[in-house]
Structure 1
Amino acid sequence: MSNVEFKIERGEIVAILGPNGAGKSSIMKSIVGIVDYEGEIRIDGVDANTKEAKNLFGYVPEEIKLIDHLTPEEFFSFLISIRGAGDDAVERVEKYVRAFGLDEYMDKPIISLSMGNKKNVTIVASLIHNPPYLLLDEPLNGLDAFSARVLKEIVARKSKDGGILLSTHIMEIAEKLSDRVIILNRGSKVAEGSLEELRNYGSLEEAFLKITVSMRVLRRLSPLYDLSHLVFVEAGLKNAAAIRQDVSRVTKVDQVQLHHREVIVYRSSLNFHRSGIL
């Protein structure tokens, strides 16, 4: 990851969208404290590495890692105990267990559960302490239609007074669940905007493809051009004229043919994702 900066407000759902290997999970793991990073991460103004901050979020990782020899009931009791969550947490767990249909599996070893039910256990575990923020890494992977619907309802309710950060490589999920989208490509943030802003490109899928394809074009051109101040590549974007009007101090560098497609490279001192593209 390099120079990734963003903010999530309470009351909104933000989706991190990108192809496999873009850095979505790395961002989540950095916030949680699983991987080292350079920079600053704060949650409600508190350093993310502190115990106080870690009590402010629940985390559902893409890769499920549980204590396999415990039953879900034992696992939840263990988490309630180490968090000192109290009786309200017991009631909360019971509610979510019923919602996800885990009742009949509570006394079975976690290792014997299906992948979908292990994911359900992970989701319930993330909600035990009723955190205001949720970090959901590819949250719908492995869930059946019923569990996915339950999770979507939880996300909608939690976002009313909390904040949700979810990662996905599936455009439809980002489009249906989020208020704002951050697009990553090869470890960098290449775009950020509301769904309404991104719809200037058409659908979210069209926006994603146009932006990431443009970035691939840049990498192909980098041996030929000094792209240190690059802000924009025109590759058939619908609102290209409007973009050029919004970007100040932009000069045309060159016009080339790449795979029978005209690509115009512009330069500026502005940052790519703040250049008026979104």
Structure 2
Amino acid sequence: MSIVVKNITKSYKNQNALKDVSFKVKKGEIVGFLGPNGAGKSTLMKILTTYIPATEGTATVNGFSVTENKINVQKSVGYLPENNPLYLDMYVREYLSFNASIYNISKNRLEDVIEQTGLAPEAHKKISSLSKGYRQRVGLANALLHNPDVLILDEPTTGLDPNQIIEIRNLIKNAGNDKTVFLSTHIMQEVEAICDRVIIINKGEIVADKTITELKAHQAQIIEVEFDFRVEEVALQQLPKIQQVNNTHDFIYELTFDTDKDMRPVVFDYAHDNGLKILQLNTKNKNLEELFRELTGIVGS
């Protein structure tokens, strides 16, 4: 296992930032770590990177204890914090060369990482002159310099425009070809695009730990149907496996079923048997954002 977290609790005075958190991340997985602001995401990442100690529990990264083998953990991990700490008065290659010297990294490795992260055209520039997207590239390059087995990325796409998000997403996906990636983000599309698995934390506790496929497999089936005539909701509630009927607009109904079976033929048969015409019939299953809101108790506006 690349990451093993066992019964981790982190307390500040009388308040628990993390409560008995446990999970494992396999080698080569890309895992999204999700949660509302203040849920404990950054706290756990700081524990895994040895920046702060846990109050209780144990954790290992690449087989090394975060309390007993800090140096080996730091060698195994590439870390990009939420607030990317850069020396803005340094030039890109100068900054990366300085950090490479700490790890005894060869010049060839340094140039490979600059190419890998698309920084070659900007390497001669001061970091202060770079866009937010390129500054994130510098932070990611710094995390990759020593060729770590595990990447821990805290909100790597925060504040980026859509094009920059796609660029950083592709860099992370490519890095994930031969590394374990553990990343936090608020952008659900990013999770669906690059992650194998999702761990959701709320108020310091794990509320879900599933693969993307598993999360979607057990969600309710929602069908949006438009008839040519108004139908009493009580009549539609007689459909098999129906959970909820919602008349959203005019003759349009949102039908929620508790089954994996495609219920569109059942709705079609209902319309035929009752002399109704169907003007449109679509599936409208919940996306990851809606599932996240349910699991963290966030009520939509």
Tell me if TM exceeds 0.5. yes
Cα deviation, residue 84, structure 1:
0.6
2:73 is the alignment partner of 1:53 = yes
2:155 is the alignment partner of 1:138 = yes
Which of these two proteins has the greater Rg computed from alpha carbons? 2
Cα deviation, residue 61, structure 1:
1.3
2:128 is the alignment partner of 1:111 = yes
Instruction: Tell me the residue number matched to 1:211.
Output: 295
Instruction: Tell me the residue number matched to 1:66.
Output: 86
Instruction: Tell me the residue number matched to 2:231.
Output: none
Instruction: Tell me the residue number matched to 1:187.
Output: 204
Normalising by structure 2, we get a TM-score of 0.65
Structure 1 residues 145 and 130: alpha-carbon distance in aligned structure 2, compared to 1, 3 A threshold: farther
More divergent stretch after superposition (153-162 vs 193-202)? 153-162
2:119 is the alignment partner of 1:79 = no
Instruction: Tell me the residue number matched to 1:166.
Output: 183
> For 1:86-145, what per-residue CA distance to the aligned partner results, in whole angstroms no more than 9, with x for missing partners?
233223233135x2xx34433333233333322221111111111121111111123344
Structure 1 residues 162 and 117: alpha-carbon distance in aligned structure 2, compared to 1, 3 A threshold: closer
Structure 2 counterpart of 1:32, from 40, 44, 49? 49
* Percentage identity across paired residues of the two chains: 36
Instruction: Tell me the residue number matched to 1:41.
Output: 59
Instruction: Tell me the residue number matched to 2:254.
Output: none
More helix by share: 1
Answer whether contact 1:72 1:106 (CA < 8 A) is retained. yes
CA distance in 1, matches of 2:181, 2:127: 27
Gaps of 5+ in 1: 217-278
Normalising by structure 1, we get a TM-score of 0.70
Amino acid at match of 2:183: L
SS in 2 for 1:74: helix
CA distance in 2, matches of 1:170, 1:133: 21
CA distance in 2, matches of 1:209, 1:197: 17
More divergent stretch after superposition (31-40 vs 118-127)? 31-40
CA distance in 2, matches of 1:142, 1:155: 17
Amino acid at match of 1:88: N
Instruction: Tell me the residue number matched to 1:127.
Output: 144
Amino acid at match of 1:57: V
Gaps of 5+ in 2: 1-17, 220-285
Amino acid at match of 1:26: T
SS in 2 for 1:213: coil
Answer whether contact 1:17 1:170 (CA < 8 A) is retained. no
Answer whether contact 1:29 1:35 (CA < 8 A) is retained. yes
Amino acid at match of 1:177: I
RMSD, aligned α-carbons = 2.1
CA distance in 2, matches of 1:105, 1:194: 37
Cα deviation, residue 193, structure 1:
0.8
Count of paired positions: 212
> For 1:156-192, what per-residue CA distance to the aligned partner results, in whole angstroms no more than 9, with x for missing partners?
2332332110101222221221111111111111111
CA distance in 2, matches of 1:35, 1:42: 14
Higher-RCO chain (CA-CA 8 Å, sequence separation at least 6): 1
Structure 1 residues 180 and 152: alpha-carbon distance in aligned structure 2, compared to 1, 3 A threshold: same
Instruction: Tell me the residue number matched to 1:237.
Output: none
Answer whether contact 1:10 1:159 (CA < 8 A) is retained. no
